[in-house]
Chains A and B, each alone.
Chain A
């Protein structure tokens, strides 16, 4: 039985929380891999020198991208913590006896890190934007501007 020849469809899965966690881990994993490829390309631009690298980075500096980065942070964090839960279940003898508690602990750790990090990512965005932009820039300007009006 090297590989299963049967195509998995949602309907063969049993178990509720387990099924959702499994699917969730899969979706975040595939999404992270996609991001990784884009990220390697945008980092490679650094070889073309400061002008081009910073020109490309500027695009990522508007508020919509910041929301995207919050999503990315959540995906990394969730995949990491759920991954640790899986590792605990598999490599700790008693892990499987405590799987319900482990689910709860994982969720609490996720919330405990996600909430303050998001708060920090949003507030520091506005602090830095207002500090660096031309005088008179408001929070709303920071939110809707497609490109920053300053050069880094």
Chain B
């Protein structure tokens, strides 16, 4: 980490010399980011430019989820944004919570909440059956 600062080029530096896990996590943020451009930004533009949320109703979602493709798209979006966001928050917590006990508490709550929301979102995508 020669003569660069932590925020050189407005990002986290590659964690050289740390554990392999940290290096993979750093790389994962970049790769998942690339996919999220398609998934998250795509999802937003579908909802706001190609449709308008004023027209959003039960039928709209039911029709999308009639095809397994949109269910798969939504599931990839769910999985990647939870993983990417959770790893991002893990880093933020490591940076900002000095007290070890508080930090562990925060991290475990984060992992618990993320897992619960991942399970809930997956359940919704799998269990949804059109009621008409």
Contacts and interface: CB of A to CB of B under 8 A. Distances in A.
Contacts of A112: none
Contact count band on B? 35 or more
B69 interface: no
Interface residues of A, number: 67
A54 B7 CA distance: 45
Contacts of A82: 10
A79 to B, nearest CB: 9
Interface in A1-60: 1-5, 7-8, 12-15, 17-22, 25-26, 29-30, 32-33, 36-37, 40-41, 43-44, 46-47, 49-50, 53-54, 57, 60
5 contacts: A7-B96, A46-B128, A69-B53, A76-B40, A80-B37
Interface of A: 1-5, 7-8, 12-15, 17-22, 25-26, 29-30, 32-33, 36-37, 40-41, 43-44, 46-47, 49-50, 53-54, 57, 60-61, 66, 69, 72-73, 76-77, 80, 82-87, 89-91, 96, 99, 103, 117, 120-121, 124-125, 128-129, 132, 148, 152
Sort A-B residue pairs by CB-CB distance and give the 7 closest, nearest first: A21-B10, A33-B85, A50-B58, A152-B57, A18-B10, A86-B11, A83-B33
